[in-house]
Amino acid sequence: MDTEGYRDHPVRSYVLTGGRSRPTRNTLRPETLLCTVDDGRELPSHAGRHQHTLLRTCRGTLALAEVAAYLRLPVSLVAVLASDLLDGGFLALRSTATHDLPDTELLEEVLDGLRSL
Amino acid sequence: MDSAASDPAGTAPARARHLAATVKRSVKVLVVGPFGVGKTTLIQSVSEIPVLSTEESITTASVGVDRRTGEKSTTTVAMDFGRVTVGGDTALYLFGTPGQRRFWDLWSGLADGAVGVLVLVDTRNLADSFEVLDQLEDHTRLPLTVVVNEFPGAPRHSVEEVRTALDLPAGTPVVSGDVRGRPRAVQALTTLVAHALEQRARQAAAA
């Protein structure tokens, strides 16, 4: 069934995250930029295939929402996976700002950037 | 050999469109409006990547469907989004979502820290936009810009007519045009960011 953006499907998210529905950190937003840390370390043997795919996908910088779209998983689920990988040092945050609102200077730069598109 | 071909489990995603190495920060704009109003069209007009989509699950109890059966099942709501790199070091994300708060609450932090909201309006269905605007005014303090999507064949209304019909807060910019065109879509974003800056300056002056 697909009606105006709704579609029914079974939930499997909590299985993939070991039963957890919340990430270990709450600073990850859909636009948070992520990048794989390329230091030659291997993921622990218990890591799942989604963790492996996530790290392969983030060999260049992407936002959390983009990773979720490429992995075909919900953002909330990928936030849990990404949090674990950040905690383990396999993934790094690329964007540093965690302010509630973008500051004036940033807005001015965005405006200039848009005007020169 | 690319990663997709070497992935034995077949789980490698489509080749990702990474950001330039110079990009060090991100901002976002929400694109809201009723179903079919042209959110994805506007996002595609601006985006440097093909529009991506992701889904979240909600129980039907919170969207009020399937009451007939009385069963609690799970429903997904899709979010389309795109991005454009501005000024070389900033990724601007455009997240399209139905305006109702119960939808955007699905994506934790979606509204938090947003530059502002582009509210898409179809003049053939102004009533559909009332709930969206009410939700935004009741639950956020985000700067708004109303974008009247001029569908081919739709009746033309002046900006003032739309402003009156929607009872917009004073100072809310209204732009109109066919959002299939990139210049029009970029103009909507430029208007919103300029409005956000003005709002910030007013708040600073009042403080």
Distance from CA of A39 to the nearest CA of B (A): 18
Q: Are B52 and B80 spatial neighbours (Cβ–Cβ below 8 Å)?
A: yes
Determine the pLDDT at residue B117.
94
Nearest residue, CB atoms, A60 vs list B19, B57, B113: B19
Between residues B4 and B74, the one the model is more confident about? B74
What does the mean pLDDT of chain A come to?
Answer: 82
DSSP string, chain A: -EETTEEE----HHHHTTT--S-S-S---TT-EEEE--SSPPPPTT--HHHHHHHHHTTSBEEHHHHHHHHTS-HHHHHHHHHHHHHTTSEEES-----SS--HHHHHHHHHHHHT-
Determine the pLDDT at residue B147.
95
8 Å CB contact of B16 and A57: yes
Nearest partner of A52 among A17, A94, A90, A83, judged by Cα: A90
Q: Where are the domains positioned within chain A?
A: 2-115
Interface membership of B54 toward A (CB under 8 Å): yes
CA distance B194 to B199: 9
CA distance B4 to B113: 35
User: Around Cβ A91, how many Cβ atoms within 10 Å?
Assistant: 22
pTM of the model: 0.85
Distance from CA of A24 to the nearest CA of B (A): 14
Distance from CA of B104 to the nearest CA of A (A): 12
Interface membership of A93 toward B (CB under 8 Å): no
CA distance B90 to A96: 12
Cβ neighbours of B16 in A, within 8 Å: 57-58, 60, 62, 66, 70
Nearest partner of A65 among A95, A107, A20, judged by Cα: A95
Interface membership of A114 toward B (CB under 8 Å): yes
Mean pLDDT of the B3-22 span = 66
Determine the pLDDT at residue B158.
80
Residues 109-138, chain B, touching A (beta carbon < 8 A): 109-110, 112-113, 115
- Residue B76: pLDDT above 70? yes
- Residue B2: pLDDT above 50? no
Q: For the domain B25-206, what is the CATH code?
A: 3.40.50.300
Phi, psi of B124 (to 5 degrees): -80, -15
Nearest partner of B185 among B50, B94, B64, B106, judged by Cα: B94
8 Å CB contact of A6 and B87: no
Q: Indicate the SS3 state at residue B58.
A: strand
Determine the pLDDT at residue A30.
92
Q: Indicate the SS3 state at residue B6.
A: coil
Mean pLDDT of the B37-44 span = 94
Write the pLDDT tens digit of every residue in A94-108.
Answer: 876 555 678 899 999
Interface membership of A75 toward B (CB under 8 Å): yes
Which residues are B55's β-sheet partners?
B78
Interface membership of B63 toward A (CB under 8 Å): yes
Residues 29-68, chain A, touching B (beta carbon < 8 A): 29-33, 49-50, 52-53, 56-63, 65-66, 68
Determine the pLDDT at residue B67.
47
Write the pLDDT tens digit of every residue in A23-64.
Answer: 666 678 899 999 999 898 989 888 889 999 999 999 999 999
Nearest residue, CB atoms, B200 vs list A61, A104, A115: A104
Report the percentage of chain B scoring pLDDT > 70: 80
Of A12-21, B17-26, B118-127, highest mean pLDDT: B17-26
User: Per residue, what are the HEC states of B64-86?
Assistant: CCCCCCCCCCEEEEEEEEEEEEE
CA distance B117 to B99: 10
- Residue B144: pLDDT above 70? yes
Q: Indicate the SS3 state at residue A51.
A: helix
Element of type H or E holding A92: strand A91-93
Mean pLDDT of the B64-85 span = 71
Write the pLDDT tens digit of every residue in B88-136.
Answer: 999 999 999 876 666 666 666 788 889 999 999 988 888 888 888 888 8
What does the mean pLDDT of chain B come to?
Answer: 83
CA distance A38 to B24: 18
A2-3 and A6-8: which strand pairing? antiparallel
CA distance B72 to B122: 33
CA distance A81 to A52: 10
Q: Indicate the SS3 state at residue B200.
A: helix
